[in-house]
Amino acid sequence: MMKRFSAWTAALLVGAATTFTLSAGEKPNVLFIVCDDLNDYIETMGGHPQAKTPHIKRLIDSGVSFEQAHCNIPICNPSRASFATGLLPHTTQHYGFEDWDKNEALKNSHTMMTYFQANGYHSLGTGKVMHNRDKTEWSEYGHPSDYGPFAYDGESNLAHPDSPEGLAAEFGSIDGSFGPLRKLPADGPLQWRTGGWGKQRLLRYESDADRDMTGDELNAQWAVEKLQHYADNPDEKPFFMGVGFVRPHTPLIVPQEYFDRFPLDSIELPGILEGDADDTFKHTITSDEDDRSSDRGVKIHDLLVEGYDGDRELALKKFVQAYLACVASVDDLVGDILDVIDNTSLKDNTIIIFTSDHGWGNGEKAYVYKNTLWQESTRVPLIIRAPGVSEAGGKSATPVSLIDIFPTLVELCDLEGDTKKNDKGRDLDGHSLVSLLADPGKETWEGPNSAITALYKWAQYYDPAFQSYSLRYRDWRYIRYSNGKEELYDTTKDFHEWTNLALDDAYADQLKACRDDLLSQIPESIPAPKKTADDWKEDYFKKHPEADANKDGELSWPEMNTHKEKDAGEKWKDKYFYKNPDADTDGDGVLSWPEYKKHKGE
């Protein structure tokens, strides 16, 4: 591993670095900011011409922006598991929403947070940085993930009252909800509520100037206070700080002032080609071969359009307005954090990384959601400012991915020790980006020539050889779905990925080259291990903890067999009650065993 001094020296030799003030042996601080569902709607990234992100642009202008950075799986939990550990989904076989601690590779490999702790850092985080373990991985933790605000009727969270009825009914208070945070009628049934899955609170809103803080605002405030503390106490040990913002994850609800920055009649739609999805195959693994409508992103799109009487342009403008507003709200919070760093001694000894777990589609290919292998889902902002190393305003076109963050920090901070906790862990899959920080324009580096992304589709067992993947090269995107169907795009001429060249025989050689490259990267089949009888018993215990009759924390075979017989009997009794409701002689709505036997004449 290249030592930190060598990285600094290399940067200075190419004339790209600013003055670096760390003394010998001193470790730099690290601030890691991660957003949720943030695509390329960032100034300078070209995702949307009306994006207003002056504070993130300030970071871009003072660091290196990776213009072809991609996530390794475009959905929250496995993406965060991947970048937190520096391991690819096909290394860990973690493609879904399972608990990280039930995965051998994840459980036995360090996250960035615990690895920094092992190297003498104080690790502290707030908000949604990980998807599991947010409270356990940090030495100090601030606020839990907060997906709100939600409209609340006193019993349940609901979608924003302005959301289209069909979309709200189908997808509820998260994916079916968008609109400005505004004062609700005092005599109406709704209030605002916010919080995470475990605990929620009412959110008071009278006006933008008179209201409670949102979850993201609380996280920014926490970070500002902690950073100011470190600026005032420079002799404390170095810190690794994570700040996780939920926006622009749905529900797309932020204060009215952010919507006002993007008047609806001025909204421009992203590049959309009519019928663009006709030559794509994502739907063939998530719905019927000839019917795209059951795919989640397609359903959200169709219900959104339906909610505005089929006016697709108006529907998408409404949604894009809300998305842009949410991005702008996060940008302001990033500005608050940067102000502390840039106006204190932290500026010269704090590495800043800004990114997102994956992107989001806003109508391209008639799709509104994440979890595709197209650019809208896989491309993310990745900005790194490393004082003394990164070229201010540098831009790199090299395809990189989120697993490269961990090894980059290992080199920049000169961290030592194995990133595996034991032999059951895995070595880092990513590669350090330090050489690209020093010379962003270089066309070759130590890493691969493409960024690999996997796709989530629920399964009880994930064999990595039979998942869907994408490779993003400088000039091409290749997609291979689990059923063998393929897509190929010449991204130099077709930035929007509108024309699938895999269907054109003229590109057969290029298609084969990409296919061979992908198949050489993913492992051969790893069949699911056969379950033993004890495994089946343990699975039954997890589903039926009440089967443990003596409450000793273990399920014996007699206990399981007794419970199974009783459970089977209850099911038969319920079926009998359905066909013979008159058997309930006392009218309490429940068929007891005596009533059942009496009615059957037993």
Please check the confidence at residue 4 and state whether its pLDDT lies above 80: no
Range of weakest confidence among 176-185, 231-240, 375-384, 548-557:
548-557
Please check the confidence at residue 19 and state whether its pLDDT lies above 70: no
Range of weakest confidence among 100-104, 197-201, 301-305, 321-325:
197-201
* Structural domains of the chain, ranges and CATH numbers in brackets: 4-149+213-349+357-434 (3.40.720.10), 533-600 (1.10.238)
pLDDT for residue 9: 33
pLDDT in tens, 61-89: 999 999 999 999 999 999 999 999 999 99
pLDDT for residue 288: 65
Please check the confidence at residue 1 and state whether its pLDDT lies above 50: no
- Which residue spans within 524-591 are E strands per DSSP? none
Q: Band of the pLDDT at 25, cuts 50, 70, 90?
A: low
pLDDT for residue 550: 87
Range of weakest confidence among 196-200, 350-354, 358-362:
196-200
146/293 Cα distance (integer angstroms): 30
436/465 Cα distance (integer angstroms): 31
Please check the confidence at residue 230 and state whether its pLDDT lies above 80: yes
Q: Count CB atoms within 10 A of the CB of residue 285.
A: 16
Give the mean pLDDT of 202-225.
Answer: 97
Please check the confidence at residue 408 and state whether its pLDDT lies above 60: yes
Give the mean pLDDT of 469-480.
Answer: 98
Q: Count CB atoms within 10 A of the CB of residue 209.
A: 7
Range of weakest confidence among 95-99, 125-129, 196-200, 410-414:
196-200
Instruction: Transcribe 153-222 into DSSP letters.
Output: -SSSEE--TTS-HHHHHHHHHHHT-B--B-PPPTTSS-EEEEE-SS-EEE--EEETTEEPPPHHHHHHHH
Q: Band of the pLDDT at 580, cuts 50, 70, 90?
A: confident
pLDDT in tens, 289-323: 667 788 999 999 999 999 999 999 999 999 999 99
**CB-based contact 160:275 (threshold 8 Å):** no
Contacts of 364 (CB under 8 A, 6+ apart): 270, 271, 272, 276, 374, 376, 496
- Written as one letter, the residue type at 362 is N
Helix (H, G, I), strand (E, B) or coil at 33: strand
- DSSP class of residue 54 equals H
pLDDT in tens, 379-388: 999 999 999 9
pTM of the model: 0.86
More confident residue, 36 or 199: 36
Range of weakest confidence among 12-26, 27-41, 42-56, 183-197:
12-26
pLDDT in tens, 528-554: 888 777 777 788 888 888 888 888 888
pLDDT for residue 5: 32
pLDDT, averaged across the chain: 91
The strand order across the sheet containing 191-195 reads 157-158, 150-152, 191-195, 200-202
Please check the confidence at residue 602 and state whether its pLDDT lies above 80: no
Which string of b and e fits 8-29 if b means at least 16 CB within 10 Å? bebbbeeebbbeeeeeeeebbb
